[in-house]
Structure 1
Amino acid sequence: MTSTSLPPSDDARDRAAYWFARLQSGEASAGERAQFEAWRAADPAHARQYAEIEALWQAAGTLDAAQQARLGRAYRAPSLPSRRRWLALGAGMGATAAAALVGVKLWPLPEEYARSIATARGERQELSLPDGSLVSLNSGSALRVRYDAGQRRIWLEEGEAFFTVTRDAGRPFVVDAGTGRVTVLGTQFNVRREGDAFSVAVAGGTVRVERGPWWNRQRALLTAGQGSRYADAASTTPDLDVQAAIAWRDGRIVFRDTPLPQALAEMNRYLPDPLRPRFAEPRLAALRVSGIFDTANPKALLAALPRILPVSVQAGTAGTVDILPR
C-alpha cells in the first residue's frame, strides 16, 4: 500500500495542491483516491480550492516542456523540507503560469452555477443547464456541474451521460472522466466511465479527448460518427459503435456480437438488484449475443438466452443465475 504524506498545514489550498499533484502523478492508489474524495466532500471550501487549482493548471496548459518540467520539479524536489516543498509547489505553479499568461486572471471568476445529480440503477434523468445545454444521465450514474465566466465544467464521477452542448466560443465545455478529459465548444456526444476506463462516442460535431498523466498527456480529435474506448494511457479501442453506444437514450440496449459476460454486465446496469451469473462451463462464457433489448425490461435478455444460444438459465439463491449447457 502506498503511504500518503499530507502537507503539514491544514490549509485547504495546501491540501488541494497536494491532492492535485498526487492525482496527476498517476501513482495514486484506489485508497488514496477514496481519501481525496472524502476530503473534497467534507467541506465546500475544499471542493472550491481544488477546482481553482485545476483551473490554474488548465491555464498553464500552453507552457512549453521546459516550463512544465520546472513545475514538476517544484513538487518533487526531495531535498526540500516538507513545508518548503509545498511553498515551492505554489511558487512554481504561479511563476510558470504567470510567465505564459501575463495579464490574464489565473483564478476563475466567481462561480455562476453549481449542481450535482445522480441516478439510481434503472433510473434516468435529464438536466437543463443555464446556457441551454442538456445532460441526459443514464442508470447508476453521477456527475457534478460547475459554470463560471471562463469555463463550463462537468465531472463524471461514475456511469454514463449524453451531452447536447450549446455553442459558446468563449467558454469551452469540459467533461472530466477520471483519467480522461473531453473538450468541446458545441456538439452532441456520449461519455461513459467505468473506474479508470472511459469511452467517448460522438453523435455530432468534434471533440478533443485528452488522457494520461500531465507529463505525457495524449490528445486526439473525434468527429461525428467516431468513438473510442480508453482503458488506460496506453490502450485504446477505436471504432466504437456510436449508434449502439447511445441507444440507451431511446430506452434500448444493443448487442452486436457481444461476449455473453459483457452482455449480462450491461443488463445489470439497469437492475435495482444486480444478478450474479455463474457459468457451468468456461466455454459458455465465450458465447456471443446479438439483439436489441428494452432498458425497462433488462431481464428479457435472460428469457431470450435459451432461444438464441445453446444454454438454459436457472435462477439460484441470493441473486445468482446459473448459465447451463443444453
Structure 2
Amino acid sequence: MAQKRILVIGGTGAQGFAVVKALVEAKDPFTVRVLSRNPDSEGVKETFKDYPQVELVKGSFMDFDSVERALQDCYGVFVNTDGFTVNEPDELWAGVRIFEIANTIPTLRHFVYSSIDYYLRLTNFDHKYAAHHTNGKGRVHTYLDGMTSPAHPGSKLVWSVLITGPYNEDLIGGPYVPHIAADGTRVFRLPLGDGYIPFMTLQDCGAFALHMFQNREEWSGKTLLATSHFSTGKEIAETLSRVAGVKARYENIAVQEWVDTLPYADAPVSSMYPDGITVGQNFSMWWPGFANSILKNEGTRDLAEMKRINPNLQSLEDWIRESKWDGTARQVLKGFKDGGITAEMQQLKAE
C-alpha cells in the first residue's frame, strides 16, 4: 500500500521538524512534504540532511497559492503557523484561509491545526493575558471548534486541533535560559512565583501529532490538550542540579525586571512588523498565565491520558537526561537563529 503523504506547514521550525521526524520514523511511516520559504538555503539543507526522503517545496503559509499547490495529492496536513513572523490578524487569517483551501483538495482527509491555549478566553478576556503569539492561534481553534467535522456534508476532510505549550527546549535556548553566577551556579531568574509552566518536549509533540494522524476517526472534530509535565521554577532548578550534577537555584523576580534583563526585549515580536509590539511587551502578558497557574487550576490537562496516548511521555528528569542539558545555552529555535540571537546573548551573568 502506498504511504500517505502529509504536508507539514512550519516543518523547518522546532515543532514542525519534530513532527516531520515522528512521521517518517514511525513503524508505518508517512511520506512527508515540507513547505519552506527558502528550501535551498544552507540552514534548511542542514536541518534535513539526515532525511533525504522529505520533499521540500517553496512557499509560505501567507502565500495561499503556494499552500494550495503544496496540498495537492496529500492525505493530511499539519499546520503550525509562526506567530513570531506574522502578527495576530495575519495568523488568524492564515489559519482560517488554509482550512478553507484544504477543503477544496480532493485527496485531503485530515487537517491537524497546532494551537496554543487561548488564555484570553480562559480568563474571561482579561487583558493582562493578551500575549499576541498565543491568542492568534487560540482564535483559529475557536473557529474550528464551531465547525462540524467534516465541515460540509459533501466533504471527507476531518479536522483536529493539537494544543501544545512552551517547549522544554526553551530552557536551552529561549525565554527560560538560566543566568550563570561566578561560581557556575545556574540561576533561573523568572517571574513565575509559585506557579507552573506547562512544558512540552519536542519529542512528545511529534508523538502526539503522529498519534492523531494514525487515529483520524478518533480525533475527528476533537482537540488534544497536550503537555509533557508541569514544573515550578524551584522544581526546574532542583531537578537540573540532581540530574546534571550542577549547582542551580530559582529566584522569583517581577515581570518588568525580567523584561529589563532580556537582551532582545525591544525587538519586534513579529519579524514582519518592525513597528509592532515588542518581545518585552508581548511576554509581559504571557508570564501571568504561568505565575497564576491558569492551566493547572482550570484542570485542562490530564497527565494520565497523556501517558496512555504516549507511553514514552517525558518527565522533566527524563528530558534532562536524554538531552544531556547541563544548564548551558545553545541555539535550538529557528527564530532565534534567523534573528541572530546567540547563546552568548541569552545566557547572562548572575551576581
Tell me if both proteins adopt one fold, taking TM over 0.5 as the criterion.
no
Whose RCO is larger (CA < 8 A, sep 6+)? 2
Higher strand share: 1
TM-score under structure 1 length normalisation = 0.24
More helix by share: 2
- Tell me the TM-score normalized by structure 2: 0.23
Specify the structure having the higher radius of gyration (Cα): 1
